[in-house]
Each structure stands twice: as structure tokens, then as C-alpha cells.
Amino acid sequence: GEDVEQSLFLSVREGDSSVINCTYTDSSSTYLYWYKQEPGAGLQLLTYIFSNMDMKQDQRLTVLLNKKDKHLSLRIADTQTGDSAIYFCAATNYGGSQGNLIFGKGTKLSVKP
Amino acid sequence: DAGVIQSPRHEVTEMGQEVTLRCKPISGHDYLFWYRQTMMRGLELLIYFNNNVPIDDSGMPEDRFSAKMPNASFSTLKIQPSEPRDSAVYFCAWGRGLYNEQFFGPGTRLTVL
């Protein structure tokens, strides 16, 4: 089955760019997501990308997808202290079981002033 | 949080007691998911429903866990009897099944002493 891997921690300085990486194993994954979880809160959908896209930009967020390497990244430009949170990568295969949204273990982003 | 009300937000109980977690998603969803989050195991899918019918409960850890969805706007997750290893944050999420995106509630933090 699908497996999604992420590094557990990332530390950056305020104003720098953050890049959070994710790899997945199922080449048939058609939708890939980034979720953000702030302390004491649920997961918040940040953005998603379809497998027929290479890049998606949404304000400070840029998602890059390398299907050949099964690699997904989330770049946050001009990182702010409010961006400190845990970021989850998730993958699914639309058309299959609607429940198989597979999450990585999350990357904890710490932003230092 | 994304149109999902979970109650209680915090629950502290003693081992052996019955625990009932509640979820009220917004109307118009197709899917309802229950997740458990711990530091050790990350985010685990317990069970999900499609149009109020349980589709996949393979993630339910034991027979002590049960979930129901009597109507489209209410679901419960019950643990009977509870054990200390059940301590976790339990999330309810809804999905429309269009792009498999899911929208999470704020979670219930369960502590079993």
C-alpha cells in the first residue's frame, strides 16, 4: 500500500524560505495534499495538487511535484512565526477507495525570530 | 473548524470506563472519517462512512472500539472499556469525495488514567 514519508523537523529563521519535503510510494496517487496543524487544533487543508501538474502556487505557498521521483515539496516564502506548525503531506488515489488518504507523520516547522 | 463540531474537547476518565466521543459535521458531505493521533503512531484512520454507512473499519484497533452514524449530521465513537493506551487526540473529518480532500474538526483530547 501507499506509504508517505517526511522529515520530522525543520528550523528556519523568520523571513527565510522554508521547504518541506515528502516522498510517496504509490505511483498511481492522483491527488497530493498539504495540511497544517497548529498546536491544539485539527488539521487544516492548505493546498493540493493533481498528479497531472508539476507546480501550483498560492500566495506564499509553492507546491512542486516530481512524479518520476514520487517527491512532493511545499515551499513557504517569507516564513513568519505564525507559520510555526506541523505540516502533513497526504496522498490518495482518486477512483479507488475514498478512504485511502494516507498521511505522513508530519514535519514540525519552527520559525525563529 | 472547517464545519465540524466535536465534543467533548477534553475528556479525562479512568481505565475501564466507557467513553463516547461525538462529531457533528456540516450537511452536504459524502464521507465521515474518524482518526486517532498520537506522538508514537502519528495520524491513524480508524473508520470511515459513506452516506452514513461504514465502509472500512480495518483501522479500529479492537472490539472495544465502535462507531456509529445514525444520520448525516451526527456520529459517535465509543470505547468500552477504555484503557490508558487509548489516550490520544481523536479527530473527526468530513469529505465531499470530489478530490478526496478532508476537513478536520478540532479534535477531542482523551486521557485515560
| Number of CB pairs, chain A paired with chain B, less than 8 A apart | 65
Predicted pLDDT at A59? 95
Residue A50: count of CB within 10 angstroms of its CB: 12
**Which one of A2, A101, A107 makes the best mutation probe of the B interface by having the most chain B beta carbons within 10 Å?**
A101
Interface contact B74, partner A, CB < 8 A: no
pLDDT digit string (tens) for B81-104? 999 999 999 999 988 766 677 889
Q: Which of A44, A48, A103 is closest, CB to CB, to B43? A: A103
Sequence-distant (≥ 6) Cβ neighbours of residue B94 within 8 angstroms: B2, B3, B4, B25, B26, B29, B31, B32, B33, B102, B103
Nearest to B85 by CA among B56, B58, B65, B103: B65
Instruction: At A83, give phi and psi (nearest 5°).
Output: -85, -5
Q: Mean pLDDT, to the nearest integer, of B25-53?
A: 88
* CA geometry: angle A41, A47, A53, nearest 5 deg: 155
Specify whether the CB–CB gap between A78 and A60 falls below 8 A. Answer: yes
Nearest to A111 by CA among A77, A76, A73, A82: A82
pLDDT digit string (tens) for B47-71? 999 889 998 898 998 899 999 999 9
* C-alpha to C-alpha distance for B111 and A108, rounded to whole angstroms: 23
pLDDT digit string (tens) for A29-49? 888 999 999 998 999 999 999
Q: Among positive and negative, which fits the CA dihedral B77, B97, A58, A89? A: positive
Query: What are the cell numbers at A11?
Result: 528550523
pLDDT at A64 over 90: yes
Chain A nearest-CA residue for B56? A99
pLDDT band at A1 (very low <50, low <70, confident <90, very high): confident
Least confident residue range of A1-10, A50-59, A98-107, B34-43: A98-107
- Chain A residue numbers touching B46 (CB-CB < 8 A): none
